[in-house]
Structure 1
Amino acid sequence: MLIAYNEERQLFLPYQYTREDLQRYRRFMKFYCPQCQHPVHLKIGQYNIPHFAHQSKNNCAQLFAEGESQLHLQGKLQLFEWLKKIGHTVMLEPYLKELSQRPDLLVTSDRRQVAIEFQCSTITHEKWLSRTLGYKKNAIQVLWLFQTSLKNSSLQGIQKLNISPILQKVIAYTAQDQPYLITYDAKTARFIYWTNLLPVYGHTFIGKVQEMTTNMQHFPFYEPVVITIEEFRLYWQLYKRYCRQFAYQRLLHNHKGVQDAFLRSCYELGFTLTAMPDYVGIPVKASEAIPMFSLEWQTILHYFCQGIQQLPHELNKSEIRFFLSEQNMDITDQAVKAIQNYGAIFAKNYQNHYIPDICGHVYAHLFAIATIY
């Protein structure tokens, strides 16, 4: 922990003093945990950030974790100083008794409170949900800010991203309904934006990575702008590459033969895995609700449509739900929307006999049009 009370009940922040001063204070001053009131020990290392630790284990340690990494301590201090510098009222490690929780930072503005959780270590879904709901029940907005992973700490530009399930839970949306994620790199004191996120499959996304120094950042955080059609063409190239890789891998590692719904559909429709039609494998909004690669479910959808003599854009909600049920997929509103979104794109191509600039049309549906179908 970065704070403690001294014998006079005054808040003591070690980072504000030199190591020589801290060594002198440690000899004659006693410190106490702000949460449990038990004595704590001031730790002053040669390289580590000065901090406090309980002198003996007690129940407090379950609420106020011991053994924080130096990166976590460093990041909290950087964010604390940054928020103060830009004029915000912010508390470091405040104990919220009514929640029995201690956010890393608590920002108060116009009677509105925002708890900032800077997360460096792994956290379970259960713990994340419990803490998030705790803040929500007490009308406190929570902002989860994860330490930037090593893989994505130095690369910028449009690229493939691996976003873990827990990080996917904190994806935010702009006013134009574009998904993005902000992480923080305490090593470089920079915010890393993963913007205009396009789901590929599972944990894989395509996104544009940009960095911003604390000197340039605002709070609440700046929202990213929509990518251009030229930038989306790079997305399109990457996405189509993954489509080809998916088809090749399915053919190479197929063990089900004709029982494989995707390969069976390709055979019945006369699709060639090495040259799939442009109108399958299309990224659409809400596609993350369908646990299949777009090339797979859209091909199977066309085979399903052939069986009932319909086209994808002609399907009603009842027929869409029946399709999802046949494929043992969860019948959710988002999954239905994904298929409707695909139908809307397919209809345009069908009416124009598969217009050559399908990339531009997909861009319009994904980025330029905010309507959710």
Structure 2
Amino acid sequence: MLTALNKEGELFTLSGDMRNRVPQLRKHERFFCPVCKEPLILKAGHVRIPHFSHRHHSQCIETASEPESPRHLQGKLDLFEWCRSNQLAVSLEHYLSDIRQRPDLLVEKAGRQFAVEFQCTPISVQSVERRSLQYLSSGIIPIWIVGGQPFHKRRANDMFEMTEYLWSQTMRNNGQTMLAGYEPESGRGFLLTNITPYTSRKVFARLHQWPISKIKYPFPSFPARTNFPYKNWPDEKMNWIQQKVRYGNLMRDSFLRAVYMEGSNPFLLSPLIGLPVKYMESFISHPAEWQFFIWSDCLKKLGTGKNISLKYVNYKLRERISNGDIICRTLPLHDENQWEKSVRDYFRLLEELFYFQRAGKDLYRMIQVIPWPSHVEEAKLWDIDIHDTLINNSG
């Protein structure tokens, strides 16, 4: 903790010049927890920056988060000073009694409040979701900043790996998915933008970094989804299918089971199944999985000239989600039921490829039968042809 109450009941923050007065403060001042009012210990050493700590056996809810790492203490202090340099009204470790939360920073700008959480160690996705929803229920916008670089592993120039923990802290801004990070050791801020999944862990994204002193609050804006590598998608989809077939279990894998029960082959799926679409990060399941279930549950028996509503498609997908056949991703800072937007964009692509025609606000008419390849070479050629069309249309 970097904040405490003094004996007069005033809030005291260990920032700036105050940190140089620690020896004198330890001798002549007493400090108390702003939450439970218990006496605190003012600690200072050669490794960790000066901070307050509860005594052993404290029952305060704040002790659940102690001890804080040197990175966390330094990082939130840096972010506090950064907000002040941006002329923002900011409080460090302000306790929100209504929701029993104490964000690292509480920032006010243009009449809106932001709870900034600087998270240095992984916590459960459920914890991120719970805390985020508590802030949102109070009209406070949560912003999560990863301690360090905002990805699990870098695989190539624009290819990264992300865990579900990192996914849960992403936000939507200017039509794209992004994740922020800060590295106190170097004083650099990071922003991963245009995050688009190849698989549940592998993503295409752009990494930006600057000294924190060069960043304006909250984050710079970038064009949404620029230069997505459609040309790589067929190979990435084929790699995913190969891994699925090699390691999948028919007893537990409803997708593989459904494909084989249809008398089909995972390597001979229609080229219209597994298309990359907007908002597909809403699913942990690969697009090939949920788009196959759309075909089997909704489109397989639909004849040319017949209509289908997105409301019906979403209803059937919701059944699959409830049964565990399709897995949605926990994204508390994104729109609710965002996966429905992904379904809408899928039908927009089918319309763009001249297989469906818009027949109403949420109504589509099939104008061409969905093709299925008869052999692997034909499947590859169709995949390449369709994705070449997507590349040309996106340009």
TM class by smaller structure: 0.7 to 0.9
- Give the structure 2 partner of residue 215 of structure 1: 213
Structure 1 pair 223–310 and aligned structure 2 pair: CA distance change class (3 A): farther
> Is the CA contact (8 Å cut-off) linking 1:194 and 1:210 kept in structure 2?
yes
Greater shift in the superposed pair: 327-336 or 342-351: 327-336
1:87 to partner: Cα distance: 1.3
- Give the structure 1 partner of residue 287 of structure 2: 294
Once residues 292 and 239 of structure 1 are traced to their aligned partners in structure 2, the CA distance between those partners, rounded to angstroms, is: 16
> Is the CA contact (8 Å cut-off) linking 1:88 and 1:108 kept in structure 2?
yes
1:147 to partner: Cα distance: 1.9
- Give the structure 2 partner of residue 283 of structure 1: 276
Q: TM-score, normalised by structure 1?
A: 0.77
1:306 to partner: Cα distance: 7.6
- Give the structure 2 partner of residue 249 of structure 1: 243
Aligned length: 357
Once residues 294 and 172 of structure 2 are traced to their aligned partners in structure 1, the CA distance between those partners, rounded to angstroms, is: 29
Structure 1 pair 59–248 and aligned structure 2 pair: CA distance change class (3 A): same
- Give the structure 2 partner of residue 261 of structure 1: 258
1:106 to partner: Cα distance: 1.5
Once residues 20 and 341 of structure 2 are traced to their aligned partners in structure 1, the CA distance between those partners, rounded to angstroms, is: 63
Deviations 1:49-82 (A, max 9, x none): 1111123432324477321111110110110111
Does 2:179 correspond to 1:147? no
Deviations 1:288-336 (A, max 9, x none): 4555322344456556678415379964447635864579557997555
Greater shift in the superposed pair: 317-326 or 205-214: 317-326
Once residues 150 and 291 of structure 1 are traced to their aligned partners in structure 2, the CA distance between those partners, rounded to angstroms, is: 19
Deviations 1:331-361 (A, max 9, x none): 9975555444333323433479979764465
Amino acid at match of 2:107: V
Structure 1 pair 344–58 and aligned structure 2 pair: CA distance change class (3 A): same
Task: Please give the residue correspondences for 1:119-138 in structure 2 after superposition, counting only pairs within 5 Å.
Answer: 119-138=119-138
Structure 1 pair 253–33 and aligned structure 2 pair: CA distance change class (3 A): closer
Q: TM-score, normalised by structure 2?
A: 0.73
> Is the CA contact (8 Å cut-off) linking 2:199 and 2:240 kept in structure 1?
no
Structure 1: tracts of 5 or more residues without a match: 369-373
> Is the CA contact (8 Å cut-off) linking 1:95 and 1:103 kept in structure 2?
yes
Structure 2: tracts of 5 or more residues without a match: 329-336, 356-367, 372-381
Q: Which of residues 204, 207, 210 in structure 2 aligns to 1:206?
A: 204
Secondary structure in 1 matching 2:24: helix
- Give the structure 1 partner of residue 24 of structure 2: 24
> Is the CA contact (8 Å cut-off) linking 1:321 and 1:336 kept in structure 2?
yes
Amino acid at match of 2:169: V
Greater shift in the superposed pair: 346-355 or 42-51: 346-355
Deviations 1:119-171 (A, max 9, x none): 2223334543443344334333322222235865888841133131x433332
Once residues 45 and 17 of structure 1 are traced to their aligned partners in structure 2, the CA distance between those partners, rounded to angstroms, is: 17
Structure 1 pair 141–313 and aligned structure 2 pair: CA distance change class (3 A): farther
- Give the structure 2 partner of residue 171 of structure 1: 170
> Is the CA contact (8 Å cut-off) linking 2:230 and 2:390 kept in structure 1?
no
> Is the CA contact (8 Å cut-off) linking 2:248 and 2:256 kept in structure 1?
no
Structure 1 pair 7–194 and aligned structure 2 pair: CA distance change class (3 A): same
Secondary structure in 1 matching 2:352: helix
Identity rate of aligned residues, in percent? 26
Deviations 1:254-280 (A, max 9, x none): 654997323455x64xx783x876544
- Give the structure 1 partner of residue 332 of structure 2: none
Greater shift in the superposed pair: 202-211 or 76-85: 202-211
1:190 to partner: Cα distance: 2.3
Task: Please give the residue correspondences for 1:6-21 in structure 2 after superposition, counting only pairs within 5 Å.
Answer: 6-17=6-17, 21=21
Once residues 116 and 275 of structure 2 are traced to their aligned partners in structure 1, the CA distance between those partners, rounded to angstroms, is: 37
1:37 to partner: Cα distance: 2.8
Does 2:337 correspond to 1:343? no
Greater shift in the superposed pair: 78-87 or 239-248: 239-248
Deviations 1:145-204 (A, max 9, x none): 22235865888841133131x4333322233x2222223233322222221121334344
Amino acid at match of 1:172: M
> Is the CA contact (8 Å cut-off) linking 1:313 and 1:344 kept in structure 2?
no
Secondary structure in 2 matching 1:262: helix
- Give the structure 2 partner of residue 35 of structure 1: 35
Structure ranking higher on relative contact order (CA contacts 8 Å, 6+ apart): 2
Secondary structure in 1 matching 2:185: coil
1:83 to partner: Cα distance: 0.9
- Give the structure 2 partner of residue 371 of structure 1: none
Greater shift in the superposed pair: 147-156 or 200-209: 147-156
- Give the structure 2 partner of residue 225 of structure 1: 223
Amino acid at match of 2:167: Q
Greater shift in the superposed pair: 346-355 or 115-124: 346-355
1:109 to partner: Cα distance: 3.0
Once residues 296 and 99 of structure 2 are traced to their aligned partners in structure 1, the CA distance between those partners, rounded to angstroms, is: 53
Structure 1 pair 107–277 and aligned structure 2 pair: CA distance change class (3 A): same
